[in-house]
Structure 1
Amino acid sequence: MSAPVSTVEDAIQAALATVNDPEIRRPITELGMVRSATIGASGVVRVELLLTVAGCPLKDKLRTDITTALAAVPGVTGVEIDFGVMTPEQRQSLQSQLRGGGGATEEPVIPFAQPGSRTRVYAVASGKGGVGKSSVTVNLAAALAARGLSVGVVDADIYGHSVPRMLGADGRPTRVEDMIMPPQSHGVKVISIGMFTSGNAAVVWRGPMLHRALQQFLADVYWGDLDVLLLDLPPGTGDVAISLAQLLPNSEILIVTTPQTAAAEVAERAGAIALQTHQRVVGVIENMSWLELPDGSRMEIFGSGGGTAVAESLSRTIGAQVPLLGQIPLDTRVREAGDAGNPVVLAEPESPAAQALGVIADRLALRRESLLGKPLGLKPAGR
């Protein structure tokens, strides 16, 4: 049981401790944002709040959340909030706190690559474009978040970034010293190069720039404690796929294909890269498997059997079982929901495509955590 609140001042502090910063998702009292909180004789509480940066995009939400929390305290008749801004020293202290004590000048590390990381990292790959890889990524992220997991998405398709639109993440990242706070949508944290470019500008970069961008997305972004991180990779086996294997050697690969034979053959190559990078292939997802007609029959627009063929071929090539995780029917609602920024698993959860995606999300959510490379805490018995 928690200790009883003895005074109005204690109750005010306890109420403020229930308010989380919308970007960092930790209590504002813990982050050093509350400079002071006093109550006057008339019952009006005056709060001095320090924002991480001037012009914080979520300032209004903070005002609403603080006012709501304090209004529930007995004896409080009103709330006045004065906003200030943290000094550079205070921001550096916050950055050090969030990074676990590392100094602000230290080279940032990729938390998901550390031996003790409990985050499951899935790289969603395809052999060719146009198979719906980004739609699958976005919907799996939203489905996993709806199941109570903490989820992040890296839009690693630098040239063809589309994740922010599909997730409805129209916010801009906020910078705190050297850290980047990712926007959130539908409970999913997301970062994309599209959040740093003007309008619909094209990104014209070569390999080293792609590697550095991916490294920054993984190391400089404050992700917090994630259960699952999904990376939407560009098609094929180029620079980004190679960089990912170097930066996150513990990441696992999800292969997306269509039933079409030509697409399946290319998808096999994308999965076979695991032999060279020593990554694990979690499974194959067949997208656009069929179109359900009004009379209940199915039209196999792109043929059939591609997903099964890829799974069987990769199982033979890799020498380990690669399952077909699911087949997702072709549904115009997937496209419509993506264009609207509201994934179909949330917008139309009873649709056949959403149901199929939900089954795949369940399989990923229930996977046992690997103990590979993790200390078990065993000690030799004493004599």
Structure 2
Amino acid sequence: MPDVTGAQQLDLAVRQALSRVIDPEIRKPITDLDMVGLISVDQAGRALVGLKLTIVGCPAADTIQRDVVAAASGVPGVTAVDIDLSIMNSDERTALIDKLRGSAPRRSVQFGPDSLTRVYAVTSGKGGVGKSTLTANLAVALAARGLRVGIVDADVYGFSIPAILGLVDDDGLAVKPTRVGDMILPPVGRDVKVISIGMFIDAAPGSGSAGGAVAWRGPMLHRTIQQFLTDVFFGDLDVLLLDLPPGTGDIAISIGQLLPNAEVIVVTTPQPAAADVAERSGIVARQTGQRIFGVIENMGPLVQADGSLLDLFGSGGGEEVARRLSHGQDAPVPLLASVPLSLELRRGGDAGEPLVLADPSDPASVAIRSVADVIATRGRQLAGRRLGVFPR
């Protein structure tokens, strides 16, 4: 066995330390991503680390460099750290993309029937029921439990997930994703990977608005959702949530075609009129082959200071939707939670600070986290999936 000098041992120790530095966008060690080149430590203990970024202007560059210096500086015997910064060439980027995609063919839809990721499409019959707020808070609650979570903001016309998760710049525009070749890396907010059409459009000139508008018809909508599911690298997720637009239009049908294995969470308010419309969104999901996982009632009774309940939007709508949607399924559709009307839940969405993190004890937060508990304990379904293991 060749003799390893003290200097070589120190080089190896630095490389081992850098294996704990995680790329904040791809969420993998930079050593696994071939971002670390030559490492050398001189007799004085000064380490030189070759670091290759994926693209020019990489938004995570400062974070990665800071983490590299911190990790290498923590190695006993290292007195200082210098970084030799460079950018991957086209061949190196192609190799990285191939490594990330693994055996999956290019332009293939992620999270299909053979995926171990639990996919939940959050839908509602009408707008204004708090579907996006619930989706974002549910995702954050799941991530806080240690799950790897992603969101596809499929509400192309009324996108709001980036703002709710604080993924906006100083001008109020959604943070842009990073592109590596034909691969899109989703921004991460509150430990949740997010992609939204709002990340690809700018404010209309002179509008004074924080974002532009989308005026697309069916084919363009379908291609957009398909691109989100093919070109965006989410990696290995435990849970993917899709925030669907209200109603039973093109996008709901496209999701049913692209992800027939997705389970559906129907959001409604307590009032009977909302319950009638919410039932239709669940019926359409079932017609595309999806299973209804459960119902969440939002804006439920508010507990007042004297202990009395204020039914501002009526009562019983969630239970009624669950009862109606239970017809035609092998098992009853449960009412997963009744989330009480909450001023703080609304404020958290406006401020980009999800309530489940800002105030876990708030009654609305408790209700949402109870749904996260149910989802988190389900695990990843292996039954009927191809595992790629064969007897010899």
Q: Give the TM bin, normalised by the shorter chain.
A: over 0.9
Say whether the 8 Å CA contact 2:113–2:261 is kept in structure 1: no
Count of equivalent residues:
373
- How far residue 312 of structure 1 moved from its aligned partner, in angstroms, is 0.4
Q: Which moved more, 1:250-259 or 1:25-34?
A: 25-34
CA distance in 2, matches of 1:296, 1:82: 64
CA distance in 1, matches of 2:356, 2:322: 25
Aligned match for 2:142, one of 144, 148, 162: 144
The 1:36/1:326 distance shift into structure 2, 3 A limit, reads: same
- How far residue 320 of structure 1 moved from its aligned partner, in angstroms, is 3.6
Render the CA deviation track for 1:187-231: whole Å, top value 9, x for unaligned: 100000101111311011111111111011111111011000000
Aligned match for 1:359, one of 367, 370, 382: 370
User: Who is 1:176 aligned against?
Assistant: 180
User: Who is 1:39 aligned against?
Assistant: 41
User: Who is 1:130 aligned against?
Assistant: 128
User: Who is 2:255 aligned against?
Assistant: 244
- How far residue 41 of structure 1 moved from its aligned partner, in angstroms, is 2.5
- How far residue 369 of structure 1 moved from its aligned partner, in angstroms, is 4.4
CA distance in 2, matches of 1:269, 1:162: 23
Say whether the 8 Å CA contact 1:9–1:38 is kept in structure 2: yes
**Equivalent runs, 1:46-125 vs 2, <5 Å:** 46-101=48-103, 107-115=106-114, 117-125=115-123
Aligned match for 1:17, one of 16, 19, 23: 19
Identical-residue share of aligned pairs (%)? 55
- How far residue 319 of structure 1 moved from its aligned partner, in angstroms, is 5.4
CA distance in 2, matches of 1:183, 1:248: 22
Render the CA deviation track for 1:305-325: whole Å, top value 9, x for unaligned: 000000001112445411100
Say whether the 8 Å CA contact 2:118–2:262 is kept in structure 1: yes
Instruction: State the 4+ residue runs in structure 1 displaced beyond 2 angstroms.
Output: 317-320, 367-373, 375-380
SS in 2 for 1:111: coil
Render the CA deviation track for 1:124-180: whole Å, top value 9, x for unaligned: 000000000001100100000001100000000000000000011233210011100
CA distance in 2, matches of 1:112, 1:233: 16
Say whether the 8 Å CA contact 1:173–1:180 is kept in structure 2: yes
Say whether the 8 Å CA contact 2:118–2:381 is kept in structure 1: no
Say whether the 8 Å CA contact 2:113–2:259 is kept in structure 1: no
The residue type paired with residue 58 of structure 1 is: A
Say whether the 8 Å CA contact 1:272–1:317 is kept in structure 2: no
Render the CA deviation track for 1:40-82: whole Å, top value 9, x for unaligned: 2321111121110001111110111101101111111111112
Say whether the 8 Å CA contact 1:43–1:77 is kept in structure 2: yes
Say whether the 8 Å CA contact 1:138–1:343 is kept in structure 2: yes
Say whether the 8 Å CA contact 1:253–1:279 is kept in structure 2: yes
- Asked if 1:260 corresponds to 2:271, the answer is yes
Say whether the 8 Å CA contact 1:275–1:318 is kept in structure 2: no
CA distance in 2, matches of 1:313, 1:263: 13
CA distance in 2, matches of 1:80, 1:292: 59
CA distance in 2, matches of 1:377, 1:29: 26
Q: TM-score, normalised by structure 2?
A: 0.91
The residue type paired with residue 75 of structure 2 is: V
SS in 2 for 1:229: strand
SS in 2 for 1:225: coil
> Aligned Cα RMSD in Å?
1.9
CA distance in 2, matches of 1:321, 1:50: 54
Say whether the 8 Å CA contact 1:24–1:181 is kept in structure 2: yes
Q: Which moved more, 1:18-27 or 1:223-232?
A: 18-27
Q: Which moved more, 1:122-131 or 1:288-297?
A: 288-297
SS in 1 for 2:327: helix
- How far residue 373 of structure 1 moved from its aligned partner, in angstroms, is 3.6
The residue type paired with residue 185 of structure 2 is: M
SS in 2 for 1:7: helix
Q: Which moved more, 1:351-360 or 1:369-378?
A: 369-378
The 1:19/1:376 distance shift into structure 2, 3 A limit, reads: closer
**Equivalent runs, 1:282-301 vs 2, <5 Å:** 282-301=293-312
